Structure 1
Amino acid sequence: MICGGRGTPFKVITTAANVNDVTQTLVLVDGIPPVAGKPGRPRRRPDALLGDKGYDSNPNRRELRRRRILPVISRKGAPNIKDLGKLRYVVEQTFSLLHYFKRLAVRWERRLDLHDALVSLTCGLICWRRLKKARP
């Protein structure tokens, strides 16, 4: 899952349990939809990518830098980056919101299309609740 700075899920993909996170990093970054904001072209890439040690690889770091995205990823075998958890909690909070829907906490669906549909519906509900809360 890749989400914005306030926990809005931008892209969620489902893979097999034995697929490494490193292989999915660029797929997630490429799947970020255009985000409108300031006048002009909509943004298609984040300024920085925060990840845990599962996303650590030199090819990933090089490719992210080539795309002008700052990789803030802890290195394997090294101490954690100080205060990275204070920033990454947003992703963990969004995961916990997904698991609030009991069907997604444990994957009971055998068919991938049904599971992806439930994940998409849940992400839509999370976005709707955040928009509803932000609106006066």
Structure 2
Amino acid sequence: MGRGELTDAAWERISPLLPGIDGRGRPWRDHRQVINGVLCRLRTGAPRRDLPERFGPWQTICERFARWEVDGTWARLLEEVQVHDDSIGAVEWTVSVDSTVNRAHQHAAGAPQKGAQAGAELEDPARAAADQALGRSRGGLTTKVHLACDGRGLPRAILVTPGNVNDSTAFDAVLDALRVPRTGVGRPRRRPDAVIADKAYSSRAIRRTLRHRGTRAVIPERGDQKANRVRRWRTGGRPPAFDRELYKARNVVERCFSRLKQFRAVATRFDKLAARYRAGLHLAALVLWLRDTAR
């Protein structure tokens, strides 16, 4: 086993969840070998053509990664690990939400616009970039990763948007992505006990959304909002409740971003398609969950 590859314990956890061989066509190359090749590319950021030969043909690694992204295998693996930990009470439902901006490599640009025919001229390159979660800022093309993690600093929900998208506009989508199915009878759990976020998420709409969900909001009030409320005096309303002690736990999401960015293909986006980049994030998150379980 090489550095960064699947351990025996991790392989035993996920091997029963992988697609089986239906007996038709040529036999599949060993799943573990291919996944280790995908992890090598994700960890080093190397082009797929430059992967070591011991992982097999690079075309097989690329094709298997793309196929399992389309059928949702990578997302399903992450969900199954979360379901297992939630069934034994290991998942903490105090959630921290934040985002980070990752620079996109020049190879990430140039994906075709959604719905455009092959070889057709793009009428709006800016729209094509936005379709693939690429936004232009001062540093060039960037992608923003919105993340919700639990109290242990493990990724719970991941969303990618163009880098110039405001954090608060993606908050509802991140909450909707929080979903852990039950092992027995019952609907999936979607409501965290509390949501911790910084001042970028301080708005009446977000607080109202959390209140309707029955979730406690631990979000500090921005200075301009406080000044406006004080200026209006009695009509400004009461200050929102804020738990300073619980807010100290917000750093877990920052540590989670730091762990995810140990994978160089996450810290810098090389994938042209947003779905491929999101699949890499799901795989990196899966590795973090498996490492935590092995402790």
TM-score normalised to the size of structure 1? 0.85
For the pair 1:58 / 2:204, whether they are aligned, the reply is yes
Q: Which structure 2 residues correspond to residues 7-18 of structure 1 after superposition, within 5 A?
A: 7-18=153-164
Deviation string for 1:72-97 (max 9, x for gaps)? 1112226x974455301111111000
Consecutive unaligned residues of structure 2, counting only runs of 5 or more, are 1-146, 227-241
The Cα of 1:41 is off from its aligned counterpart by 6.3
Partner of 2:165: 19
Partner residue, 2:251: 89
Q: Quick one: distance in 1 between partners of 2:181 and 2:222? A: 32
- Displacement of 1:48 after TM fit? 0.6
Instruction: Establish whether residue 30 from structure 1 lines up as the match of residue 172 from structure 2.
Output: no
Deviates more, 1:25-34 or 1:9-18: 25-34
Letter in 2 for 1:7: G
Q: Distance in 1 between matches of 2:172 and 2:219?
A: 14
Structure 1 vs Structure 2: percent identity of aligned residues? 37
Equivalence for 2:285:
123
Q: Is the 8 A contact 2:196 2:247 kept in 1?
A: no
Give the aligned residue type for 1:124.
L
C-alpha distance in structure 2 between counterparts of 1:123 and 1:18, whole Å: 24
CA drift of 1:63 comes to: 1.1
Q: Which amino acid is the alignment partner of residue 8 of structure 1?
A: L
Distance (Å, rounded) in 1 between the aligned partners of 2:270 and 2:186: 44
1:12-58 residue CA offsets vs partner (Å, 9 max, x unmatched): 00000111111111111111122659x97663211110001111110
2:217 is matched with 71
Q: Which runs of 5+ in 1 are unaligned?
A: none
TM-score, normalised with respect to structure 2: 0.41
TM-aligned CA distance change 1:24 to 1:14, over 3 Å: same
- Match of 1:113? 275
Match of 2:261 in 1: 99
Change in Cα spacing, 1:106 to 1:83, as seen in structure 2 (3 Å) is farther
Residue 46 of structure 1 is matched in structure 2 by: 192
* Higher share in strand: 2
Size of the aligned set, in residue pairs, is 131
Cross-structure match for 2:56: none
For the pair 1:2 / 2:164, whether they are aligned, the reply is no
Cα gap change, 1:112 to 1:60, in 2 (>3 Å)? same
